[in-house]
Structure 1
Amino acid sequence: MKALASLALFTVLVVPTLARAQKATASKNPVKDRPAETFNEIERGLYFAVQAGPSFLVNPPADSGPQPFSSGQAAQVEVGIDLGERLSLGFFLMGSANRAGSDYIGKSGGAASGDFSSLVPGVTLRAHLVGFEDNQEVKRTFIYARAGVGYSMFSPKLLLPDADILVFAGPGVEYYTRLRHFSVGLEVTGSYLLSSGTVGFAVMPNLRYAF
């Protein structure tokens, strides 16, 4: 009987105290919802880009003979970094192949003639000039200007033995898709080979992925 009385007294005195302590602890440490994870609408930073399209040379390099208008194809890969929303700095490698008739002898003195190709490593800088918002007030479409310089090496060597410095610049339009990492664009550039005075231009769609 004494044991039962003691147990009842313990229950009456201690259990309410424990309940009040638990309630006070719960009020000091309320349960919170897990914060929602947010993402950037447009990813910027390190990027990888590819572009390809038709390219043209108005007056291909030559020491003698005709310099006929030459059409061809060019492709380029680029790795770089976005410096904020407006500027990007990149390193590129571009290859091109141009058609030329048998009367084009370049700088070979008549020892070779015909088609030629080039390989150009270099650096490029792009600046977003104007941005346009979509219906969610996110700037996804940009008008930009891009300029670059590279070291142009030609093939076959017998036809065009000397390398040249290539400079180019032009406008483009870029759209950042809702896939966040991807953007697509179209660029028109004019080019100039410093030593030979060769003028050219290209129209290149491009695809870009930002990490």
Structure 2
Amino acid sequence: MRKPLLVAVLALLPTPVLAATPPEGVPLEVRRGFFTEADIGTFFTLGGENIYSNAQTYLQLGVGYDLTDKVSLGVHFGLGASAANCFAGYLPDSDVCSMSDNFTVSFGDVTAAYMVPLAERLYLMPKVAAGLTRMDPAPVGSGDPGQSMTAPNAGLGIGIEYATPMDHFSVGADFMARYIIGPNISTFALFPRVKYTF
């Protein structure tokens, strides 16, 4: 008597399991929270004796956190270079720059972005950034031409981001303009982004 009852109970067990919503056909939710990103693009400066620098490779690494579905904060380290553009002026009767006309530019910035939905999983992202910039060797100043210099920077940017169907991964592209305060150098970076949200 107990055996047939046990068999009947075991036969009914899969029913609640099968009643659950199957994973197929359920849209993936955009993952939000702690993220890292890696970006490689191009970088140049404006101003100086040559009006603009030659385009150089730009590398940016960042970590951040999505505070809400629309607001994210991050810390980013960026590395670029200004090539063949003299900001300190030429030596008298010469086309030789009085300081270095080739220098690396390192950014350490805090960034904030606001995500504006354009379509499902696609966002327009206006951004602001502020932090410190290190230039090596110094492109302006009255000290030793071989020394580096540090100055604050502030910037604005615009980006686009798509949350891919691959869980955790988003891709996009950014255009960021920063102004280095003190030496008065305008910098621009254009780069694709790959973002991983944990």
1:68 CA drift (Å): 4.0
- 3-state secondary structure, aligned to 1:70: coil
* Identical-pair percentage: 23
1:53 CA drift (Å): 1.4
Whether the 8 Å CA contact 1:105–1:159 is kept in 2: the answer is no
> Which residue in 1 is equivalent to 2:78?
94
Query: Is 1:130 equivalent to 2:117 in the alignment?
Result: yes
CA distance in 2, matches of 1:77, 1:165: 19
CA distance in 1, matches of 2:3, 2:167: 51
CA distance in 1, matches of 2:154, 2:100: 25
Task: Trace 1:158-177 onto structure 2 (pairs within 5 A).
Answer: 158-159=145-146, 161-177=148-164
Task: Trace 1:176-191 onto structure 2 (pairs within 5 A).
Answer: 176-191=163-178
Find 1:69's aligned residue among 44, 52, 63.
52
Query: Is 1:41 equivalent to 2:29 in the alignment?
Result: yes
CA distance in 1, matches of 2:38, 2:134: 20
Whether the 8 Å CA contact 2:82–2:101 is kept in 1: the answer is no
CA RMSD of aligned residues (A): 3.1
Return structure 1 stretches of 4+ with deviation > 6 angstroms: none
TM-score (norm 1): 0.72
1:52 CA drift (Å): 2.0
Length, aligned pairs only: 180
1:19 CA drift (Å): 7.0
CA distance in 2, matches of 1:162, 1:154: 5
| One-letter amino acid of the counterpart of residue 53, structure 1 | G
**1:163 and 1:67, CA in 2 relative to 1: closer, same or farther beyond 3 A?**
farther
- 3-state secondary structure, aligned to 1:100: coil
- 3-state secondary structure, aligned to 1:33: helix
> Which residue in 2 is equivalent to 1:153?
134
CA distance in 1, matches of 2:3, 2:178: 81
> Which residue in 2 is equivalent to 1:8?
none
**1:186 and 1:105, CA in 2 relative to 1: closer, same or farther beyond 3 A?**
closer
Task: Trace 1:77-88 onto structure 2 (pairs within 5 A).
Answer: 77-88=61-72
| One-letter amino acid of the counterpart of residue 43, structure 1 | R
TM-score (norm 2): 0.76
CA distance in 1, matches of 2:87, 2:155: 25
Whether the 8 Å CA contact 1:168–1:189 is kept in 2: the answer is yes
Greater per-residue helix proportion: 1
CA distance in 1, matches of 2:36, 2:98: 41
> Which residue in 1 is equivalent to 2:141?
none
1:131 CA drift (Å): 3.2
- 3-state secondary structure, aligned to 1:185: strand
Whether the 8 Å CA contact 2:73–2:112 is kept in 1: the answer is yes
CA distance in 1, matches of 2:127, 2:22: 35
> Which residue in 2 is equivalent to 1:199?
186
